Amino acid sequence: MSYILLHHSGCSTSRKGLALLQENGIEPQVRKYMNASEQLSLDEVKEIARKLGAASPRAFLRDKNAADVGIDANSTDDEIFVAMAANPKIIQRPILIKGRKAVLGRPIEAMLDLT
């Protein structure tokens, strides 16, 4: 089964995560979800939450960018999902997906648990 890595090349953690996977013999399909042509749809963001086993999108919300797009402590899960699809910079990275499971690479070594 193949791996998909939600990756942002401008993020040092994401770059280190990709390197770690490659060092361990894993060549994932890299999805540069920050690029408009590869941006995630609302359904895809919700599916990632399910694969992560997350009860809320807050589990993979990039807090330091959330306020920039109007997300705060009072925002609903639906509002966060919509904001994530419209503003991919508020999604934590990297995220490794394999089949019906996914893991947030924070710390990056957590991705090896999915291999």
Q: Which residues are catalytic?
A: 11
Q: Tokens for 65?
A: 């960018």
Measured in degrees and rounded to the nearest 5, phi and psi for residue 96 equal -105, 130
Give which of 72, 43, 45, 64 is closest to 106, Cα–Cα. 64
